[in-house]
Amino acid sequence: LVNRGATDQTLDGWALCAFPNYWLFPTGTVIAAGARLVVHSSTGTNDASNIYYDPSRPFDTWGCLDPDRGGELALYRNIVANDPSEYVVSDNMVAYVEWRTAGHMRESVAVGANLWEFASALDMAGYVAGDGIASNETGICVRNFCVESRAQASLGAANPGTVCPMR
């Protein structure tokens, strides 16, 4: 996650969703102005640039983030009770991406929030284990995402050589 703002952003009440899994950011998590926060699906020690899922409450218990399968990932704010009903409110969704196949559970919420195009998914051609998904930061729709090669990426830092081309 990148905070492009001029002030620090507290992530209290923010969550990730890879349906049917939901994960709230720990209370007090902050992304400094202009900084990145890498969210890891492994164990480690949280710091200002890295956060790790609670291993006793795994986020991706269904393999929903497996790049070899179709999947989705959404970022939400204004989550109070971590109730599933909060995740169908378009105003709560901040960002969305789905890959390999379209029509995932939260796609309609993303379309309603003007964050995604109906029935579109990122083509993962060329993906190899360890790669990521990047945005060219010009908008939020499938044309503005691409596979980011881990061979070129520097985890947690800007990767100007792998910014997605305009399509």
Per-residue pLDDT reduced to its tens digit, 13-70 = 999 888 878 888 989 999 999 898 888 767 788 899 888 876 555 555 555 566 667 8
DSSP-derived 3-state class of residue 39: strand
CA separation (Å) from 71 to 32, 40, 46, 101, 121? 29, 17, 26, 7, 9
Report the distance separating Cα 156 and Cα 167, nearest Å: 25
- Pick the range with the lowest mean pLDDT from 16-30, 99-113, 146-160: 146-160
Report the distance separating Cα 98 and Cα 49, nearest Å: 25
Per-residue pLDDT reduced to its tens digit, 124-139 = 777 776 677 777 665 5
With cut-offs at 50, 70 and 90, classify the pLDDT of residue 79.
very high
* Residue 5 identity: G
Strand partners, 147: 133
Which has the closest alpha carbon to 152: 116, 128, 121, 117?
A: 128
Per-residue pLDDT reduced to its tens digit, 81-95 = 888 899 999 999 998
Report the distance separating Cα 119 and Cα 78, nearest Å: 26
- Pick the range with the lowest mean pLDDT from 46-50, 97-101, 148-152: 148-152
Q: Identify whether the C-beta of residue 109 lies closer than 8 Å to the C-beta of residue 95.
A: no
